[in-house]
Amino acid sequence: MSTAATAHDDHHHHAPTGLKRWLFSTNHKDIGTLYLWFSFAMFLVGGLLAMVIRTELLEPGMQFVDPEFFNQMTTVHGLAMVFGAVMPGFVGFANWMIPLMIGAPDMALPRMNNWSFWILPFAFAILISSVLMSAFGAGHPSAPNFGWTFYAPLSTEYGPASTDLFILSVHMMGISSIMGAINVIVTVFNMRAPGMTLMKMPLFVWTWLITAFLLIAVMPVLAGAVTMMLTDRHFGTSFFNAAGGGDPVLFQHVFWFFGHPEVYIMILPAFGIVSSIIPTFARKRLFGYASMVYATASIALLSFVVWAHHMFTVGMPLAGTLFFMYMTMLISVPTGVKVFNWVATMWRGSMTFELPMKWAIAFVILFTCGGLSGLMLAITPVDFQYHDTYFVVAHFHYVLVSGAVFSMFAAAYYWLPKWSGVMPNKLLGELHFWSSLISVNLLFFPMHFVGLAGMPRRYADYALQFADYNFWISIGGFWFGLSQLFFLAVCVLCALKKGEKAAAKPWDGAEGLEWEVPSPAPFHTFETPPVVK
């Protein structure tokens, strides 16, 4: 791709400085940076909660926390990771990269962009405050304790007082996500440089466009679900109460109508990232670009008609069970297309294995593991055995941690030179990668075994026969958690601009507009749109 006009440092606008620069920003790069740091902070917070879980499960029996507090840990760990770490993380990448990739001066609606971000710290302040109050015995006696899926009646009839805080904070996260998604869609549709046709867009832009559509479609449904919870809790409505003619199962339907597209919201941008990185380091064009676009769209559309596969054991008419089972299995077709294309891109490429590529390849392999266990879970009679066991925990952590999170690490190592102007520290990066790769498998792989053997999820204790595996799972957990400190060091060094200076295009196989602006990317880029030929 070549451009007629390259970006230049713009001297007549001067960038705002100090605290105002960050608090009042209308700049997609600064807002992207804020999102990414926020996401990383929540990743560490959610990780700390997971450490509490793994400490308790290190040995059978009750050692460190009481079961009530354990339930709060699993709940808030899930919420912090899903809504605090993974979603905002991808929004951060979108903010930084989409305008650069399509040759736009900024996001389409810059002030709304800043609002989307600043809602998040406040929403999480509300949520996390209930954990702190619970942990230190002040105010609310319990943080949300019903699992991240907050099923009724656990969250309605039996929910702790902090449930109402949780509900309002979910509303805020929803507002933030919807505004962020509208911004992405409008930016992609309306801000592309001349010549940047839809089918020339980098796949990261495509996957984010489709993700944004999913967000706008399902975050309001989540808002509806928590609103019904709130009125059931305080205004006497009977949505989830069979005595009044409602049904707790209704909650599950509404929740999973949001929840299933939500899991694709957390993985489609990862597909886009990996589809950008693999061609760079295989030094070949992406194999099957158009099929990647269609596969992404198919996955997104199918995601609306598979939600009840989370509810096979709850019970539904046989026709429903069969429908949701077949639809779910159908998703593996477009997903398989993607995995095939990534492998075919690498086939006979001039491969090198810089850090982003290492993470991307680990992603392809480990995500595929998670995808295959997902296919197993899709088979209804088998799911009756697996449901709510550690097999499910293993499955979704393979796709979320060694899937979504690994893709974010890949993206960070890939684009950090562009953001900061310095190359990420190689030694720390290698340590981070290998240490994470080994520990993540030690952490999650044995969960398949204990799950198949019948260990249920969300319990603070377990039967003696699971003790050995759980010991090693916990060791893997602590190891994986500590490994992330390497990444913290990498990020801090880049933020302080310590390291080897990065060229405008630090990866010689890279293509795309983002590599045509200098590193670090100047405060304003593409104020005059480039012409894409």
Partner 1 sequence: MATDKYYVPESSPWPLAASVGLFMTAFGGAHFIQQATDPDKFQGSWGMPLFFIGLATLLFIIAVWWRDTIKESVGGLHSKQLGISYRQGMLWFIFSEVMFFGAFFGALFYTRWMIVPWLGGAGSNAMTHELLWPNFQAMWPLIKTPDGTTTQAMGAWGLPAINTAILLTSSITLTIAHHALLEGKRGKLIGFQAATVLLGVIFLTLQVEEYIHAYTEMGLTLDAGIYGSLFFLLTGFHGAHVTIGTIFLFVTLLRVIKGHFDSENNFAWEAGAWYWHFVDVVWLFLFVVVYWL
The Cα–Cα gap between 298 and 308 comes to 18
The smaller minimum CB distance to partner 1, of residues 225 and 362, is found at 225
Residue 11 among the catalytic residues: no
Residue 283 among the catalytic residues: no
What 3-state DSSP class applies to 532?
Answer: strand
Residue 142 among the catalytic residues: no
In the list 156, 183, 439, 519, the residue contacting partner 1 (rule: CB under 8 A) is 183
In the list 228, 266, 292, 443, the residue contacting partner 1 (rule: CB under 8 A) is 228
**Residue 88 binding partner 1, by CB under 8 A:** no
**Residue 132 binding partner 1, by CB under 8 A:** no
Q: How far is the CB of 460 from partner 1 (least distance, A)?
A: 27
The smaller minimum CB distance to partner 1, of residues 317 and 381, is found at 317
In the list 10, 59, 68, 247, the residue contacting partner 1 (rule: CB under 8 A) is 247
In the list 2, 8, 21, 492, the residue contacting partner 1 (rule: CB under 8 A) is 21
The Cα–Cα gap between 531 and 508 comes to 22
The angle at the Cα of 116, spanning 114 to 121, to the nearest 5 degrees, equals 95
Distances (CA, A) of 77 to 128, 180, 241, 251, 256: 10, 23, 28, 21, 19
4-12, 65-73, 161-169, 342-350 -> range binding partner 1 (CB under 8 A): 161-169
- Torsion over CA: 76, 79, 81, 85 (sign): negative
**Residue 250 binding partner 1, by CB under 8 A:** yes
**Residue 18 binding partner 1, by CB under 8 A:** no
CB 470 within 8 A of CB 461: no
The Cα–Cα gap between 345 and 285 comes to 7
CB 205 within 8 A of CB 188: yes
Distances (CA, A) of 152 to 131, 183, 254, 425, 496: 21, 33, 11, 48, 47
In the list 84, 105, 288, 506, the residue contacting partner 1 (rule: CB under 8 A) is 105
Residue 527 among the catalytic residues: no
Phi first, then psi, for residue 75 (nearest 5°) are -65, -55
Q: How far is the CB of 205 from partner 1 (least distance, A)?
A: 16
**Residue 169 binding partner 1, by CB under 8 A:** yes
**Residue 149 binding partner 1, by CB under 8 A:** no
Residue 106 among the catalytic residues: yes
Residue 77 among the catalytic residues: yes
Please tell me which residue in 54, 140, 233, 260 is annotated as part of the active site: 260
CB 513 within 8 A of CB 3: yes
The Cα–Cα gap between 521 and 467 comes to 51
Residue 432 among the catalytic residues: no
Please tell me which residue in 3, 211, 335, 389 is annotated as part of the active site: 335
The Cα–Cα gap between 502 and 513 comes to 16
The smaller minimum CB distance to partner 1, of residues 227 and 291, is found at 227
In the list 34, 57, 97, 185, the residue contacting partner 1 (rule: CB under 8 A) is 185
Q: Which of residues 25-64 bind partner 1 (CB under 8 A)?
A: 25-27
C-alpha torsion 50→53→58→63, nearest 10: 140
Please tell me which residue in 35, 208, 264, 507 is annotated as part of the active site: 264
Q: Which of residues 279-338 bind partner 1 (CB under 8 A)?
A: 317
Q: Considering only CA atoms, give the Rg of the chain.
A: 23
Active site residues: 77, 106, 148, 176-177, 260, 262, 264, 275, 309-310, 335, 338, 457
